[in-house]
């Protein structure tokens, strides 16, 4: 399997460019189902230890259905599959540019949850326009073991998020282990209380917000992803969910920049427009860098040939 690794504002992406699962053709959502049902060992092989790590998000480069699209992408991590992934789309765009597959300008990418556009604005600078995002529930109060009552919104930004305004700990790197434990407790409480997205979808990403370190940012976040890893970037889909909540609360007007800082101090600059149907369409600007090109090898005698299964 040939992969190209990048990071987007600190968060790693591993793009499978050759040797991925034979998913055939059809809508990306169906191909993602096929991936999960019949070829999950490819996911574990690509991103789990000993070849990857819990922090790595994988993206499978696919032929798009729409001939005008530049690429299709299916996202996955140490535990399963994602709908969209903002940082990985930015990383994939920079990687595809390095491969000579796309040039500067605007490109359409297909994902399992809908088309997104990508504006390549230099070798490392990318703006993505994400899928329509929305606040599903506002001011949800849940009782969380060890934390008491936690109040937040449930929103969609390409994945499902619970966005808690108050962080249980200062948003500093020294507190990451405690923030992970707190966010995991929130995720368990949401599941126990039956709080879901639409159609019973699991709310599997948890965000805490607090004041930014830099005066020119608007907010700092900590994002826990399914699988227990935290996002080193401000999270593209999480920032989209945040914009949807700000828009729904009348706190941010269309076209106004929102600078979201991550727990490691990196940033996305984000804004939204309203489409003809009045839906929030977020766009996220960030930087990505290619860090490795590799061939992953599989020895059938290796007891961990398909990765370590947690
Ligand atoms: O950037 O959307 C994102 C993301 C999701 C999970 C990790 N990063």
Q: How far from the centroid of its chain's Cα atoms is residue 129's Cα?
A: 14
Nearest by Cα to 258 from 222, 282, 294, 280: 282
Contacting residues for 249 by C-beta, under 8 A, at least 6 apart? 135, 138
C-alpha distances in Å from residue 295, one per residue of 5, 15, 298, 304: 11, 12, 10, 17
Question: Full-prediction pTM beyond 0.90?
Answer: yes
Point out the catalytic residue in the list 62, 85, 225, 245: 85
d(C-alpha 93, C-alpha 288), whole Å: 9
57 lines ligand 1 (CB under 6 A): yes
Beta bridge partners of 18: 2
Give the phi and the psi of residue 47 in degrees, each rounded to 5. -115, -20
Q: Is 237 in the pocket of ligand 1 (CB under 6 A)?
A: yes
For 231-290, the pLDDT digits (tens) are 999 999 999 999 999 999 999 999 999 999 999 999 999 999 999 999 999 999 999 999
Q: Is 225 in the pocket of ligand 1 (CB under 6 A)?
A: yes
* Residue 235 annotated to the active site: yes
Q: Kindly report, residue by residue over 21-55, the tens digit of the pLDDT.
A: 999 999 999 999 999 999 999 999 999 999 999 99
Task: Decide if the complex's ipTM is over 0.85.
Answer: yes
- Quote the DSSP letter at residue 147: T
- CA 282 to ligand 1 center in whole angstroms: 14
Distance 303 CA to ligand 1 centre (A): 31
- Cβ atoms within 10 A of the Cβ of 104, count? 12
* Residue 55 half-sphere exposure toward CB, CA atoms < 13 A: 13
């Amino acid at each position: 399997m040939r992969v190209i690794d990048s990071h987007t504002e600190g968060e790693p992406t591993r793009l499978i460019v050759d040797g991925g699962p034979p998913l055939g053709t059809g809508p990306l959502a169906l191909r993602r189902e096929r991936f999960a049902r019949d070829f999950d060992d490819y996911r574990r092989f690509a991103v789990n230890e000993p070849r990857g790590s819990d922090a790595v998000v994988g993206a499978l480069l696919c032929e798009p259905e729409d001939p005008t699209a530049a690429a299709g992408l299916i996202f996955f991590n140490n535990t399963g599959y994602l709908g969209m992934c903002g940082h990985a789309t930015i990383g994939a765009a920079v990687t595809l540019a390095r491969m000579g597959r796309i040039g500067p300008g605007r490109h359409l990418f297909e994902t399992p949850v809908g088309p997104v556009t990508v504006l390549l604005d230099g070798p490392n600078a990318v703006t993505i326009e994400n899928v329509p995002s929305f606040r599903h529930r506002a001011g949800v109060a849940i009782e969380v073991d060890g934390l008491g009552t936690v109040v937040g919104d449930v929103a969609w930004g390409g994945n499902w998020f619970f966005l808690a305004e108050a962080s249980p700990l200062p948003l500093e790197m020294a507190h990451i282990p405690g923030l992970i434990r707190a966010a995991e407790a929130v995720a368990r409480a949401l599941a126990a209380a039956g709080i879901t997205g639409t159609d019973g979808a699991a709310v599997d990403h948890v965000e805490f917000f607090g004041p930014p370190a830099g005066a020119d940012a608007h907010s700092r976040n900590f994002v826990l992803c399914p699988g227990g890893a935290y996002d080193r970037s401000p999270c593209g889909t999480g920032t989209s969910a945040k914009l949807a909540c700000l828009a729904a609360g009348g706190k941010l007007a269309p076209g106004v920049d929102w600078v979201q800082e991550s727990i490691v101090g990196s940033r996305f600059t984000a804004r939204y427009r309203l489409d003809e149907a009045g839906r929030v369409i977020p766009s996220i600007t960030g930087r990505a860098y290619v860090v490795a090109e590799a061939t992953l090898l599989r020895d059938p005698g290796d007891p961990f040939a398909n990765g370590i299964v947690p």
